Amino acid sequence: MGSTSGENTTSAGVGRRDLIKRSAALGLISVPAMSFLSACASGGGNDQGKAETGKKTAKNPLGVNDTAQMEFVLFDGGFGKEYAQDAVKIYEKDFPKAKVKFAATQKIQSTLQPRFNQGTPPDLIDNSGAEQMDMGVLVGKNQLADLTPLLDAASYDDPSKKVRDTLRPGIVEMGQFDGQPVWILYYAYTVYGVWYSQKALDSLDEKYPETWDEMLKVCEKAKKKGMAGWTYAGKYPYYIPFSLYPMIGKVGGREVLDAIDNLEPNAWKHPAVKACFEAYYELYKKGYVLKGTPGLDHIQSQTAWAKGKALFIPNGSWVENESANVIPSDFNLAVSAPTGLDSSDKMPFGTIWASGGEPFVVPAKAKNAAGGMEQLRIMLSEASSKNFTAKVKSLTAYNGGTDGITLTPGLKSGVAALEKAGDNVVNPRLQDWYVQLQKEKIGVAGLGEMMAGRLTPAEAIQKIQGFADEAAKDTSIKHYKHQ
pLDDT for residue 179: 75
Q: Which fold has domain 192-353+429-473?
A: D-Maltodextrin-Binding Protein; domain 2 (3.40.190)
pLDDT for residue 371: 97
Residue 213, CA distances (Å) to 131, 276, 407 in order: 44, 13, 33
Give the count of alpha carbons within 13 A of 154, CB side only. Answer: 12
Q: What tens digit of pLDDT does each residue of 366-415 get?
A: 999 999 999 999 999 999 999 999 888 889 999 988 888 889 999 999 99
pLDDT for residue 450: 98
Q: Is the pLDDT of residue 11 over 60?
A: no
Q: What tens digit of pLDDT does each residue of 187-243 get?
A: 999 999 999 999 999 999 999 999 999 999 999 999 999 999 999 999 999 999 999
pLDDT for residue 239: 94
**CA trace torsion 262, 266, 268, 274 (10° rounding):** -150
Task: Provide the 3-class DSSP secondary structure of residue 392.
Answer: helix
Region 173-200 average pLDDT:
92
pLDDT band at 417 (very low <50, low <70, confident <90, very high): very high
Average pLDDT of the chain? Answer: 88
pLDDT for residue 18: 34
Q: What percent of the chain has pLDDT over 90?
A: 73
CB of 426 within 8 A of CB of 249?
A: yes
Phi, psi at 183, each rounded to 5°: -100, -20
- Rounded Cα gap, residues 237 and 439, in angstroms: 8
Nearest 5°: CA angle at 355, between 353 and 359?
155
pLDDT for residue 480: 87
CB of 250 within 8 A of CB of 345?
A: yes
Domain ranges in the chain are 2-190+354-418, 192-353+429-473
* Least confident span in 48-52, 129-133, 180-184, 459-463: 48-52
pLDDT for residue 274: 98
Which spans in 207-297 are helix H? Answer: 212-224, 241-252, 254-261, 271-285
Q: What percent of the chain has pLDDT over 70?
A: 90
* Least confident span in 11-25, 147-161, 212-226, 396-410: 11-25
pTM of the model: 0.78
pLDDT band at 136 (very low <50, low <70, confident <90, very high): confident
The reply to whether domains 2-190+354-418 and 192-353+429-473 share a CATH topology is: yes
Q: What tens digit of pLDDT does each residue of 27-56 get?
A: 322 333 333 333 333 333 344 567 778 889
Q: Is the pLDDT of residue 328 over 60?
A: yes
- Measuring CA to CA, which residue among 342, 243, 235 is closest to residue 297? 235
pLDDT for residue 37: 34
Q: What tens digit of pLDDT does each residue of 106-122 get?
A: 999 999 999 999 999 99
pLDDT for residue 38: 32
Nearest 5°: CA angle at 448, between 418 and 413?
20
Class of domain 2-190+354-418: alpha beta
Q: Is the pLDDT of residue 316 over 80?
A: yes
pLDDT for residue 140: 80
- Rounded Cα gap, residues 172 and 186, in angstroms: 8
pLDDT for residue 53: 80
